[in-house]
Amino acid sequence: MIATGLETLQFDNRFTQLLPGDPQAENFRRQVRGACYSRVRPTPVAAPRLLAWSHDMAGRLGLDFDPFQTTEAAEIFGGNRLLKGMDPFAMCYGGHQFGNWAGQLGDGRAINLGEVLGRGGDRWMLQLKGAGPTPYSRTADGLAVLRSSVREFLCSEAMYHLGVPTTRALSLVATGEMVTRDMFYDGNPKREPGAVVCRVAPTFTRFGNFQILSSRKEHDLLQQLVDYTITNDFPHLGSPSAETRAEWFREVCVRTADMVVHWMRVGFVHGVMNTDNMSIAGLTIDYGPYGWLEDFDPSWTPNTTDASGRRYSFGQQPQIALWNLVQLANALFPVFGSADGLQAGVDAYTKHFNASCLAMMAAKTGLSHEHGDDAAELANELPDLLQEVETDMTIFYRALGSVELLPEQPELSGEQWSGVLSGLQDSWYQPELVPADHRVHLQEWLQRYRAMLQMQGLSDLSRQLRMNQVNPKYVLRNYLAQLAIDRAEQGDPGLIHELLQVLHNPFDEQPDKEHFSKKRPEWAKDRAGCSMLSCSS
């Protein structure tokens, strides 16, 4: 037997040790009251096969081996075996879905294996998504299909390397079983290959964990969960008290603001920002019908369920995060007893988001926000310009960093301005149809931008270096994920591995991977999985 190091993982299962669990040991669908979780074991699968592995995340856990040289990783992270010290459970939580209270939801297809002590003493929760039914599965089967699992695995790791606060992914395991899903809920179900993702995070606690207890008036348990969360997930705040609870909620609000600012920076659209999909630690969680903004359209949502209302569109994300925080504040009120600390936290979200977003927009153009608001305001005008024609957001900002705006002479000639615009036209989906007035508007903005760069004393090289630190060259474009899924469904996970490697260094040029930075091809504009997704997984 090949030693893998998996047996050396040290489990520190504080959640199940320190919080009350469901006394019912049987695994059947039910309302769970007076408990934060239910113990439940993953459902064994027919033929687990490891498809992908994040060596970066494995290293954080203290694992250093080739998981493809043994079946152990597939057996454990496919749900067929438990390691010593694992204490599997599913969390109880509720949530607002599309603005409406949905009552108990819970981990319907996610099973936490336990908390691991990683390198340096940091703690990580290991969680299998798609590992079978739990008491919270309602009418579902608790399983996941390969297409959604590939997307979750790749995006979790892509977001981390983009610098976005996120849950991580360790492994992707094919189950060897078929799962029936109606992708668009239109009466056309089909059999699809099943898979399990091992997700990793310091905590998987959500806004909904607190909401469900408050809705049931289980206030003593609500306070217990709040104080547990402060002690274990926010230990730097000190022992729980009225003051630390207020500071804790403020930090939750600020972390949430930071997360959404990063979403807006890279063009990420979550797609289903229900309160049960909001992490108490300010991490991007639950990669379902997400998408990457390709042509810059703030009203775009990848979620077909949201196509009419566009509640969770790109431009709505900051406001929805605030709405979700208000719902969390309402749930926490019985523990706080006063609205003052909760209102202060909500106000901190707005203040922090606005300031951080202005600074982020300035950074995307290479401008320094320290010289006053003019730089940020100039940068903030750019999204309106990008909406005039179909413009690829990622390519535009990366190209903007590369165009030559600051040669020796004080003014650019007409020929030089034509060259600048030519350097940006690769970001247009139909450059031949771009009207002359858009080129005029863009050149007028570029002239003011150039003057601002001169005022701040920036060279083209220094500007490019600054911009390339915040504007990625490579993101997980929707069509790339779909191509990886297509190949994986045919038994070839090679593109998953290649994309994982490329997305590990999204800000680097990687000349031999240039094709992964190209615009969305025309065939992908309206294809299911590229432009249209649902909550089905």
Are 481 and 158 a contacting pair, CB within 8 Å? Answer: no
> Strand pairing of 291-292 and 268-269?
antiparallel
Separation of alpha carbons 450 and 453, rounded Å: 5
pLDDT of residue 408: 72
SS (H, E, C) 85-138: CCCCEEECCEEEECCEEEEECCCCCEEEEEEEECHHHCEEEEEEECECCCCCCC
Separation of alpha carbons 344 and 354, rounded Å: 15
The SS3 call for residue 319 is helix
Are 464 and 401 a contacting pair, CB within 8 Å? Answer: yes
| Closest to 405 measured CA to CA, from 360, 326, 334, 461 | 461
Length of the chain: 537
The SS3 call for residue 172 is strand
Asked if the model's pLDDT at residue 82 lies above 70, the reply is: yes
**From the DSSP assignment, how many helices (H) and strands (E) are in the chain?**
16, 12
CA dihedral of residues 22, 27, 29, 31 (deg, nearest 10): -10
Separation of alpha carbons 173 and 196, rounded Å: 5
Q: What would the pLDDT profile of 348-383 be if each residue is shown by its tens digit? A: 999 999 999 999 999 999 998 776 678 888 999 999
Average pLDDT estimate for 99-106:
98
Separation of alpha carbons 3 and 8, rounded Å: 10
Asked if the model's pLDDT at residue 98 lies above 70, the reply is: yes
Show the CA angle centred on residue 284, arms to residues 279 and 287, nearest 5°.
110
What DSSP character marks residue 328? H
pLDDT of residue 417: 92
Q: What would the pLDDT profile of 402-412 be if each residue is shown by its tens digit? A: 999 987 767 88
Is the torsion defined by CA of 155, 158, 164, 168 positive or negative?
A: positive
At 4, the pLDDT band (50, 70, 90 cuts) reads low
0.75 exceeded by the pTM?
yes
pLDDT of residue 3: 53
Burial class of residue 26 in the structure, from the number of CB atoms within 10 Å of its CB (0-12 exposed, 13-18 middle, 19+ buried): exposed
pLDDT of residue 372: 66
pLDDT of residue 1: 43
The SS3 call for residue 480 is helix
Residues marked active site are found at: 276
Are 272 and 289 a contacting pair, CB within 8 Å? Answer: yes
What DSSP character marks residue 307? T
| Closest to 211 measured CA to CA, from 106, 351, 121 | 106
Q: What would the pLDDT profile of 132-145 be if each residue is shown by its tens digit? A: 999 999 999 999 99
Q: What would the pLDDT profile of 197-227 be if each residue is shown by its tens digit? A: 999 999 999 999 999 999 999 999 999 999 9
Asked if the model's pLDDT at residue 22 lies above 90, the reply is: yes
Separation of alpha carbons 252 and 231, rounded Å: 14
Average pLDDT estimate for 268-281:
98
Asked if the model's pLDDT at residue 300 lies above 60, the reply is: yes
SS (H, E, C) 197-262: EEEEECCCCEHHHHHHHHHCCCHHHHHHHHHHHHHHHCHHHCCCCHHHHHHHHHHHHHHHHHHHHH
Q: What does the mean pLDDT of the chain come to?
A: 94
Average pLDDT estimate for 432-452:
95
pLDDT of residue 51: 98
54: which 2 tokens?
A: 């994040």
Q: What would the pLDDT profile of 221-255 be if each residue is shown by its tens digit? A: 999 999 999 999 999 999 999 999 999 999 999 99
Average pLDDT estimate for 332-349:
97
Task: Count CB neighbours of 498 within 10 A.
Answer: 14
Q: What would the pLDDT profile of 476-515 be if each residue is shown by its tens digit? A: 999 999 999 999 999 999 999 999 999 999 999 999 999 9
Average pLDDT estimate for 320-331:
98
Asked if the model's pLDDT at residue 185 lies above 80, the reply is: no
